[in-house]
A and B are shown apart, each in its own frame.
Chain A
Amino acid sequence: MNWFSFITATSFMPVPATKESGDVDNLYIFLLVSGLISFIILIGGMVIFIFKYRRKTEDQKSAYITHNTLAEFLWSFIPFVIMMVIFAWGWSVFHDLRRVGEKGDVEVHVTARQWAWTFKYANDIEINSPSDKKLVENDPDSTLLKPEIVVVPVGKTIRFILTSDDVLHSFYVPAFRNKMDAVPGRRTTFTFTPIEKGDFTVFCTEYCGTKHSNMMATIRVVDGEQFAAWQAEKLAASAGASNKGPAERGEALFKGSLGCGGCHSIDGSRIVGPTFKGLYGNKRDFADGSSVTADDAYIKQSILVPTAKIVAGYPPAMSSFQGRIKEDEIKDIIEFIKTLK
C-alpha cells in the first residue's frame, strides 16, 4: 500500500470506483496534508505561547508590539497562493466530473420522486428503486427498504439524465465522488466512467420529506457480457409480463414504475397515504366532511387529480400522474385494487 492510498483508507473514504474519483482523492490528500500543516502551525504556535508566556507574577509586563509589516504580508500572501492552487485544482477536477453535453456509451433517464428513483434505459428497460422489501429483515424498527439493482458496464462512459417529478432530490454515489441535483422542470446530467466492478449505493442528499433517508438504489458495475445478458433477461421478462391478466399488470405497475407502494400499503398498514386494502366498493371520508363510495371514477380522479378529494387524516402530499399513466394502465391498477379485499 502506498502512502496516499493509506491516507484515503484511514480517512474512511469509500474505494474510488470511477476514473474521476481517483482525481478527487488526490485533491483530498493535498487538502488534508496542507490543512494538517496549517493546523499544527496555528494551534501549535498558540499552545507554545500559552505555556511560554503564562503570567507568573501579578505585575509581569508584556512586550509592546503593535505590528510587523513583513510578517503580516507573508501570512496574507502565502495562504492566498495556497488557496489559489486549491481553487485551480478543484476547478480542473470539477470540469472532469461535470462533462456537460458529452454523450455516454450507455444513457439512462433517471426520474426522482418522493421517495423513489426510476431508471429508464434507451431500450425501455425500467428499474424502480427501492424495492418493497426491508433492507434489515430482522429489525422491526428499521425503516430502510432494500435497493433495487441498476446494472451498468465497466469501462464505458455512463450518462444519467436526471429530472424530478415533484420536489428537489439529489443523486449521490459516494464511491463515485459525484453528486447532482434532480430538479423538477429541468434536466441535469451525471456522467461517470466506472473502473471497479461491484455494488455501489446511491443516496438522495437533498432533503425531500418523510422518507428522504430511504431513497436508495444500488448501481452494480459488471463487465460488458454480463451487462448484455442482464439486459436480455430484463427484456424477456417484460415481454412475458404483457401476456398477464389486468390485475397482475396492475400489480406490476403498483410495485414497479409508478411506485405507488412508496406511499400506499396493500396490507392495511399506514405509510404516508391511505392503504389500498379494502378500498374498492367501500366508503371514503374526506377532510372537507364529504364522503363517497370508492368506484372506478373515484380512483381515476385520485390518480389524475389527487388534490380533488383528500382522505381525512392524511396530508395532500400526492402529485398528479397526469401524463405519466395511460388509460389502460389506470384500468389495470383498478383491477389490482379490486383484488385487495
Chain B
Amino acid sequence: MAHEQHNYLNHQKGIWSWLTTLDHKRIGIMYFVAIMSFFFLGGVFALLVRAELFTPGKTLFSADVYNRMMTYHGAIMVFMVIVPGIPAIFGNFVLPIMIGAKDVAFPRLNLMSWYMLMIGAMITGSTLFMQNVDTGWTFYTPYSSIKTGMGVIPMVLGVFIIGFSSILTGLNFIVTTHKLRAPGMTMNRIPLMVWALYSTAILQVLATPVLAITLLLLIAEKALGVGIFDPQLGGDPVLFQHFFWFYSHPAVYIMILPAMGVISELVATYSRKVIFGYTAIAYSSLAIAGVSFLVWGHHMFVSGQSEFAGILFSFITMLVGVPTAIKLFNWISTMYKGSIRLDAPMLFAIGFMFLFTIGGLTGVYLASTGMDVHFHDTYFVVAHFHYVMVGGTLMALMGALIYWFPKVTGKIYSDLLGRIAWVFIFTGFNVTFFPQFILGNMGMPRRYYDYLPTFTELNQMSTFGSWLIGTGFLVGLFGVFHALLKGKEAGNNPFGGKTLEWTIPSPPPHENFDKTPVISGGPYEYR
C-alpha cells in the first residue's frame, strides 16, 4: 500500500521539518500553499474591483479605495501569483524528477528563495495595513514618486525582494538543467516542460535585475529627492517606463512560457501521442525568450518616444508572433491521429489554446502601431492581457494541478470536480473579458473608477462573469480538499504519462529515484 511506503511526505515529521526542508518537492508544496493564499487575496480584490464597476458612479467604494484595490489586485497577481506560480510550484516539484535528478543543484538556495518570497510578500502586504498604495502595479513616475503617499517605498521594496526570489529560482533551474541530467538525457531528450522552465529561468536571471535597479532608483528619488524620473528635479518620467518595461515585457513570457510547457505535457499525455515537432517547440521557447528582450517599447507607442522607435519596436514585436504561432500549430498537430481523452487536465489544455489564441491574435492588433494608438490603455488592452496571462497561465495552472496532483499526494483529484471547475472558469473568462474588447472598441479607458452610462451593460456582463470565475476557483479549491480526504489511491502512473516522474512511486521517495535512471530515447515515445 502506498501510504505505508517510505516517501518524502513521511520522511521527516513536524512543522519544523517542513520549514527547514531542503527537499525540492516539499519546497514546491510550500510554494503552493503560499501562492494559493496570495491568489485568494488577489482574487478577492478582483471581485471587489468588478463589483464596484457594476454601475457607473459610486457603487460600493470611493475612488481612492477603488484605486488601491486595483493596485493591489495587479501587484499581487503579477508579482506574487502569475510570475512565480508555475515555475515555483510545479517547476520545483517536477523539474528535478523529469531529468532524473535527486534534487535541484542548490537546495539551500531553493529554500532561501521561498523565504525571500515570503519576506517580500509580507513587506508589500504590510502596506495594506499602514499606508495603502494607489499607483497601479506599474508604479509610473512622477505619480509614484511625487504625488502619492510614502507607502510606495515598502511596496516596491517588497517587490524588489520578491524579484530576488525569482532570480535565485531561475539560477537554480539553469544549473540543475545543465548539470544534473541523468546519463543519456541529452538536451534534446529533456521533456518540453523542462525546456519551458529553462527558457523562463534565463529570462528571470537576465531581466529581473533591471526591475530591481529601477525600483531602487524610484526609492532613491522618493526618499532622498534624487532627480531621476521627476522633471521638477531634472529627471525624465519616460525613462522609468523604459526601465520598467525592459523587465516587465520579458516578465510576460516568464508568466506564459511555463504555462506552454505544461500544455505540451498535457497534450502529449492525453493524446497518447509523440509530441509533434519537439525541436520546434523547444527552440521556439528559446526564440521567444531571446526576442522578448527587444520589444519593451511597444508599451510606449503613445508615450512621446520617437516615431522611429515606435516602428522599430512594432517590427520586432511582430517577430514574437511567429514562434508563438508555431507552438499552437504543433500542439494541434500532436492531436492529429492521436488517441484523445478529455479528462479535466486536457479540458484545461484546450481552454488554454482557445483563450491563448484570442489573446495572441488581439496582441497582433496592439503590436501594429497605427492600431495600437486607438486601443492603448483602453479596456481592449485589459481584455487582451487577461486572455493571455490569466486565461493562459491560470488555465495551465489548473491543468497542472489536477495532472500532477496524484504524483504529489498519492491521491487522485476528482475528474468530475475538475470538469465542473473548468466549465465555470472557462465560461466565466469569456463572459468577463470578451465584453471588454468591445468596451475598448468604444473607447473606455482602463483604470476607471467611474464611466459614461453608455458603457454600463457591458460592464455588468463583465462583473457577472467574474462571479462565475470566482465560483470555478472555489470548486477547484474544494477539489483539493476532497481529493486529500477522499481521493482514490493513485498508483505510479494513472494517466499513462511517459516522462520520468511517472516511473517512480506516488508520492515519490525522499530522493526521487532508488537507482539513477539511464535514458535511451525521447520523452514522448508513444508507439
Contact = CB atoms under 8 A, between A and B. Distances in A.
Same assembly: yes
Residue from B329, B370, B451 having most chain A Cβ neighbours under 10 A: B370
A49 B325 CA distance: 18
B350 A205 contact: no
Given A83-B322, A174-B442, A205 B338 contact: no
Interface in A65-84: 65-68, 71-72, 75-76, 79-80, 83-84
A201 B442 CA distance: 11
A143 to B, nearest CB: 5
B341 interface: yes
Dominant SS among interface residues on chain A: mixed
A55 to B, nearest CB: 4
Interface string B351-372: 0011001100110110111111
Contacts of A214: 450
A24 B342 contact: no
B339 A62 contact: yes
B65 to A, nearest CB: 10
A83 B302 contact: no
A54 to B, nearest CB: 5
B328 A42 contact: yes
Interface in B375-389: 376-378
Contacts of B319: 83
A144 interface: yes
A66 B278 contact: yes
A60 B328 CA distance: 25
B231 A185 contact: yes
B485 interface: no
Contact of A179 (B58, B63, B337, B377): B377
Interface residues on A, range: 35 or more
Given A54-B342, A143-B450, A71 B361 contact: no
B57 A42 contact: no
A28 interface: yes
Contact of B443 (A68, A100, A185, A203): A203
A179 B373 contact: yes
A311 to B, nearest CB: 15
Interface string A184-201: 111010000000000001
B106 interface: no
B376 to A, nearest CB: 6
A31 B373 CA distance: 15
Interface in A45-70: 45-46, 49-50, 53-55, 60-68
Contact of A143 (B57, B271, B342, B441): B57
A97 B373 contact: yes
A74 B326 CA distance: 10
A14 interface: yes
Contacts of A339: none
B237 A64 contact: no
Contact of B336 (A12, A53, A143): A53
A174 B336 CA distance: 44
B449 interface: yes
Contacts of A180: 302, 304
B445 A205 contact: yes
B40 interface: no
A159 interface: no
Contacts of A317: 147-148
Contact of A46 (B335, B365, B453): B335
B315 interface: yes
Interface string B72-87: 0000000000000000
B369 A94 contact: yes
B448 to A, nearest CB: 4
Contacts of B376: 170, 179, 205
Contact of A315 (B149, B231, B333, B445): B149
B370 A89 contact: yes
Interface stretch (B136-144, B152-160, B200-208): B136-144
Contact of A172 (B232, B236, B442, B445): B445
Contact of A95 (B307, B322, B365): B307
B321 interface: yes
B231 A184 contact: yes
Interface string A97-127: 1101000000000000010000000000000
Interface in B231-267: 231-232, 236-238
B225 to A, nearest CB: 12
A184 B236 CA distance: 9
Interface string A299-315: 00000000000000001
A209 B336 CA distance: 52
A248 interface: no
B304 A186 contact: yes
B368 A205 contact: no
A68 to B, nearest CB: 8
A96 B373 CA distance: 12
B150 to A, nearest CB: 10
Contacts of B415: none
B280 interface: yes
A213 B369 contact: no
Residue from B136, B142, B446 having most chain A Cβ neighbours under 10 A: B142
B25 interface: no
A207 to B, nearest CB: 4
Contacts of B314: 87, 90-91, 94
9 contacts: A13-B442, A14-B443, A39-B361, A50-B335, A87-B315, A183-B303, A201-B452, A207-B136, A207-B446
Given A28-B365, A28-B371, A63-B338, 18 more contacts: A55-B339, A62-B273, A62-B339, A65-B273, A66-B274, A67-B277, A87-B368, A92-B370, A93-B369, A97-B373, A142-B56, A167-B140, A170-B377, A179-B374, A180-B304, A207-B135, A209-B143, A210-B64
Interface of B: 55-59, 63-64, 67, 134-136, 140, 142-143, 146-149, 231-232, 236-238, 271-274, 276-280, 301-304, 307, 310-311, 314-315, 318-319, 321-322, 325-326, 328-329, 332-333, 335-342, 350, 353-354, 357-358, 361-362, 364-365, 367-374, 376-378, 438, 441-443, 445-453, 526-527
Would you list the 7 A-B pairs with minimal beta carbon distance, nearest first?
Answer: A174-B443, A93-B370, A185-B231, A90-B368, A63-B337, A94-B369, A141-B57
